[in-house]
């Protein structure tokens, strides 16, 4: 198991200076700040630094700061990202003043962040599915038009090549009349082929399977969104294998009891004050599930 990032320190002691500096930039002694985010989020929770394991999980309810913390880590490490994140006029300054401590290799040299490292969010998956569905709809329209075009080219008059402007039509007609090229293959070549989508959860699982390369550092923000319990268990196996066998370090923000149960994961409970490490079975989400099924256990006997 790999450990590239060893520790991350928040600039709690510099928050007031950053706020005052920004207020001065906004108008001197009469300056103001519309949004202090992310200042003052973690100080009141007693969170000043994080020590990492090959798998580190940030747990907490909405507004606990787990996604903010993940975005600060990604910003500080300049991780590749697709979806924009919530920000504010102090976010960039706050991220710049965070400190990172990289682990060292066997020769004592500090690791650099692997180039394939990235942050992936549930929004990335939803954007991917939306883009694919839009693309598939456009291909479906092109395919319908292509059917009529195929018939015209195959059974209509032969295209006369009088100049280069006729070449494309002639090329398509040769394809349409080819005995080795079926109408289906003709349509695929001219209109394109639709990307096969499964259920949202299965598509999300495939997305993460293809995105997580070996030997990378990955921040995952609630990757379980849209997944059924069974699919979450498959995601658990995927992430466990990525950390155990593929040299990946994972930092995950999640509510999922299934992901929380990952062997060897270091879990920070951002709902507790002060923030502290906890076992997954001590966390509220896991306890809610446990109490529910315990109450109805006779139904399963």
Tokens at 187, concatenated: 């349509």
Return the domain boundaries, the chain.
Answer: 5-120+200-300, 126-191
Asked whether the beta carbons of 269 and 56 are under 8 A apart, the reply is: no
Separation of alpha carbons 240 and 220, rounded Å: 13
**Pair 59, 255: CB distance under 8 Å:** yes
CATH domain 5-120+200-300 topology: Rossmann fold (3.40.50)
Instruction: Answer whether residue 68 shows pLDDT above 80.
Output: yes
Give the chain's end-to-end CA distance (angstroms, integer). 40
**Which band of pLDDT confidence, cut at 50, 70 and 90, is reported for residue 28?**
low
Question: What is the rounded CA–CA span in Å between residue 108 and residue 279?
Answer: 32
How far apart are the C-alpha atoms of 159 and 181, rounded to whole Å?
19
CA–CA distances in Å: residue 39 to residues 62, 163, 245: 17, 68, 38
Using alpha carbons only, give the angle 272, 277, 278 rounded to the nearest 5 degrees: 85
Is residue 292 a contact partner of residue 257, using CB atoms and an 8 Å limit? no
Give 81 or 192, the one with higher predicted confidence: 81
Of residues 128 and 290, more confidence is placed in 290
Instruction: Supply the pLDDT for residue 144.
Output: 65
SS3 88: coil
What does the pLDDT look like over 236-276, one tens digit per residue? 999 999 999 999 999 999 999 999 999 999 999 999 999 99
The closest of 292, 296, 205, 202 to 242, measured between CA atoms, is 205
Please tell me the predicted confidence (pLDDT) of residue 155.
72
* Rounded distance between C-alpha atoms, residue 101 and residue 121, angstroms: 24
Q: Which residue spans within 166-301 are E strands per DSSP?
A: 217-221, 249-253, 266-269, 276-277
- Tokens encoding 25: 């930039």
**Length of the chain measured in residues:** 301
Residue 228 has pLDDT above 70, yes or no: yes
Tell me the average pLDDT of the chain.
84
> Is it the case that residue 194 has pLDDT exceeding 60?
no
Beta strands in 12-131 (DSSP E): 49-51, 55-59, 99-102, 118-121
5: nearest Cα among 73, 94, 107: 73
Task: Record the pTM.
Answer: 0.78
Q: 214 and 181 in contact (C-beta within 8 Å)?
A: no
- Across the range 49-67, mean pLDDT stands at 93
Q: Is the peptide bond before 274 cis (omega within 30 degrees of 0)?
A: yes
Residue 230 has pLDDT above 90, yes or no: yes
Helix (H, G, I), strand (E, B) or coil at 5: strand
Q: What is the per-residue pLDDT for 30?
A: 58
pLDDT for res 108: 83
Higher-pLDDT residue of 179, 279: 279
Dihedral angle of Cα 289, 292, 293, 298, to the nearest 10 degrees? 180
Average pLDDT over residues 103-129: 87
């Amino acid at each position: 198991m790999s450990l590239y990032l060893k520790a991350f320190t928040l600039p709690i002691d510099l928050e007031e200076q950053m706020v005052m500096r920004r207020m001065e930039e906004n108008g001197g002694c009469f300056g103001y700040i519309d949004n202090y985010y992310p200042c003052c989020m973690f100080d009141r929770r007693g969170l000043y630094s994080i020590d990492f394991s090959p798998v580190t999980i940030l747990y907490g309810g909405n507004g606990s700061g787990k996604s903010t913390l993940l975005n600060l880590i990604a910003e500080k490490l300049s991780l590749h990202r697709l979806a924009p994140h919530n920000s504010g006029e102090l976010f960039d300054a706050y991220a710049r003043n965070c400190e990172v401590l990289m682990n060292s290799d066997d020769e004592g040299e500090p690791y650099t962040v692997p180039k394939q490292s990235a942050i992936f969010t549930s929004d990335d998956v939803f954007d991917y599915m939306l883009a694919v569905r839009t693309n598939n709809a456009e291909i479906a329209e092109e395919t319908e038009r292509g059917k009529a075009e195929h018939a015209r080219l195959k059974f209509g008059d032969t295209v006369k090549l009088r100049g280069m402007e006729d070449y494309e039509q002639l090329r398509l007609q040769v394809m349409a009349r080819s005995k080795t090229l079926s109408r289906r293959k003709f349509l695929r070549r001219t209109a394109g082929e639709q990307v096969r989508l499964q259920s949202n959860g299965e598509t999300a699982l495939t997305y993460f399977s293809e995105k997580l390369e070996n030997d990378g550092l990955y921040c995952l923000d609630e990757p379980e969104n849209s997944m059924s319990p069974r699919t979450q268990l498959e995601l658990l196996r995927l992430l466990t294998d990525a950390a155990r066998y593929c040299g990946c370090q994972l930092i995950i923000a999640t509510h999922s009891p299934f992901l929380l149960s990952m062997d060897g994961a270091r879990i920070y409970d951002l709902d507790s004050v002060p923030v502290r490490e906890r076992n997954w079975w001590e966390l509220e989400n896991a306890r809610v599930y446990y109490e529910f099924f315990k109450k109805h256990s006779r139904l399963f006997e």
